[in-house]
Amino acid sequence: MSQDQSFDVVIIGGGPGGYNAAIRAGQLGLKTAIVESRGVLGGTCLNVGCMPSKALLHASELFEAAQHEFKTIGIEVPAPTLNLVQMMKAKQDSVTALTKGIEFLMKKNKVTYFVGFGKIEGQGKVSVTAQDGSVQHLTTKNIVIATGSEPTPLPGVTVDQKQIVDSTGALSLPAVPKHLVVVGAGIIGLELGSVWRRLGAKVTVVEFLDRITPGMDTEVATGFQKILAKQGFAFKLGTKVTAAKTGTNGVTLSLEAAKGGNPETLEADVVLVAIGRRPFTQGLGLESVGITTDQRGFIPTNHFKTAAPGVWAIGDVITGPMLAHKAEEDAVAAIELIAGKAGHVDYDLVPSVVYTFPEVAWVGKTEDQLKAAGVQYKVGKFPFMANSRAKINHETDGFVKFLADARTDRVYGVHIMGPQAGEMIGEACVLMAFGGASEDLARICHPHPTRSEAVRQAAMGVEGWTMQA
C-alpha cells in the first residue's frame, strides 16, 4: 500500500541528531517527519551507546564500591554477589523508558514518526520501506540526513557478537569473561573495559598508538593511564592486532609491534573491538541527488548544507566529534538555518567526557595543541588530593588544569580528571562561551565543600594565587 504525504522537513534517522532536529523543527512550526528503521527512536546513543553504557558503568561502580569501599567507611554487608541478568534488565528498562520519552516528545511537537528505512529518491523525495516491505512516498522541501555511524571493523578480526564483540555486543555479554581483551584505548573501549573489570574480568587493552585516549591532553592521559593501571587494567601500547582465531577455548589474537616485527599471541575469552566509528550512509540513495561521501565516508557539508539543494546533514554522519551533544548542536543549528534563522555551532566548545572512575572531562584546547600553535599560555593546576570534599569521600585521584592566554588571561582549555568531572566541565563551557578569563572564575564564589572548589583553585593557579594547596 502506498500513500503520499508532504512535509517542510523530512529527517532520516532518529538518534540525538534526528530527534533533536525534529523537536526544534516542530517548535518552529515546520511540518516535520522523522524516519527511523530501528523500530525505536533514540539512535545509537539511547539504544546501544551513551545510555546503556552509563547504566552499566553506574551499576558496576556501585558493585565495586560494595565489595571494597563500604567496609572502609563502616558499612558491613555480606560479600555482594553479581546478578548479571538483573543488571542487564535494569539497563534495558531504563533504555526503554528513555526511548518512549522520545516518542512522547515527537507527539508533543507534532512530528510524524515513520518506522522504516528512509531512502532519498531525488530532490525533495524520500521513500520509507517498512519491515513488511510496504513503501510510503514522502515529498518535502528539506531533507535532513541524520543516519549516524556504526562501529569501524578491524581487518582480520570478524565480529560474531559472541567471542568477538563490538560495543553493542559488549553491552550485553551473558557472563563476565575471565579475560577480556579490548582492542582500542579510546573512550568507548575504556568505559566498557571498566564495566567488565569491575564485574570481575581481567582486562587487557591493546592499542596501536603509544598512548591512550588520543585527543585528550597528554599530561592528563598519562595520569589517567596510571590510575587505570592501578585499578587493574593491563596495557599493551604501540601494538597492532593482525588476526583473531576463535576456538572452543576462546580467542587467539595475533599481535605485532606497531612499528613492525615482534609477533606474539594473546589469549582471550572475549575480544572487544573498539577502534572507532564510521559514518553510516548505506542504501540512503545519496547518488539520486548527486552527493558523494569523502574518503572516510562522511557527507561533506558547508554549514550543514550538502552539495544537493534542500539536503542537509548533521551528527555523526558529518565531520566533527562523534558525540551525542555535538549531534544535538548540529540539529538545532541546521533546523534554525532551514527556518531562516542564524544557526551556529562553536566546535571549540564541544566538551568530551570519559565516564570511567575517575571521570575525565575537557573542553577547548589541550596543552599539546597550544604548544604546536606556538601560543604563549599559563597553566593553573589543582589536585583533588587537596580538595576537602574529595578527601572526605576517599576520591582523591586526579586534578584540574586550566590553560589561559599568558597576556590576556582568556581561557583556552580546561581539563578535569576526577570525581564528577563530567558534571563540572559545564562551568568551564559557560566561562569559555562568554570569552572568560581564569580570573573571572577564580573570583566567583563556589559552594563549600564541593569538588567544584578544585576548579576554582586551579583557575586561581593561573595567576599564581591558589590558596588551598
Ligand X SMILES: Cc1cc2nc3c(=O)[nH]c(=O)nc-3n(C[C@H](O)[C@H](O)[C@H](O)COP(=O)(O)OP(=O)(O)OC[C@H]3O[C@@H](n4cnc5c(N)ncnc54)[C@H](O)[C@@H]3O)c2cc1C
Q: Should residue 38 be labelled a site residue for ligand X when binding is judged by CB under 6 A?
A: yes
The residues, ordered by sequence, that sit 6+ positions from 81 with a Cβ below 8 Å of its Cβ are: none
Q: Which is nearer to ligand X, 57 or 454 (CB)?
A: 57
**Measured from the CB of residue 377, what is the shortest distance to ligand X in angstroms?**
27
Q: Rule CB under 6 A: choose which of 323, 400, 411, 432 binds ligand X.
A: 323
Residue from the set 9, 33, 49, 452 that interacts with ligand X by CB under 6 A:
49
Q: Are 419 and 343 in contact (CB under 8 A)?
A: no
Q: How far apart are the first and last CA of the chain?
A: 72
- Which whole-number Å values give the CA distances from 429 to 164, 346, 358, 413, in the listed order? 38, 11, 20, 9
CB atoms < 10 A from the CB of 325, how many? Answer: 16
Q: Is residue 359 at the binding interface for ligand X, with CB under 6 A as the rule?
A: no
Least Cβ distance, residue 200 to ligand X (angstroms): 20
Question: Is residue 273 a contact point for ligand X (CB under 6 A)?
Answer: no
Region of 46-54, 70-78, 259-267, 405-413 interacting with ligand X (CB under 6 A): 46-54
Is 351 a binder of ligand X (CB under 6 A)? no
Q: Least distance from C-beta 451 to ligand X, angstroms? A: 20
Residues with catalytic function:
448
- Least Å distance between CB 171 and ligand X? 7
21 binds ligand X (CB under 6 A): no
Closest CA to 435 of 321, 346, 367: 346
Place of cell 561533506: 300
CB 320 within 8 A of CB 326: yes
Binding of ligand X by 44 (CB under 6 A):
yes
- Reading the block at residue 337, the C-alpha cell is 538555518
**Residue 16 burial (C-beta neighbours within 10 Å; 0-12, 13-18, 19+):** buried
Shorter beta-carbon distance to ligand X: residue 203 or 324:
324
- CB of 176 vs ligand X, minimal distance in Å: 18
Q: Which of residues 163-202 bind ligand X (CB under 6 A)?
A: 167, 188
Angstrom distance (rounded) from CA 346 to CA 362: 15
Residue 366 interacts with ligand X (CB under 6 A): yes or no: no
In 3-state terms, what secondary structure has residue 334?
A: helix
- Residue pair 304/334 in contact (Cβ under 8 Å)? The answer is yes
Asked whether position 204 contacts ligand X by CB under 6 A, the answer is no
Which cell numbers in the block locate residue 254? Answer: 595475533
User: Which spans of this chain sit near ligand X (rule: CB under 6 A)?
Assistant: 12-18, 35-38, 43-45, 49-50, 53, 117-118, 146-149, 167, 188, 280, 284, 315-316, 322-325, 327, 355
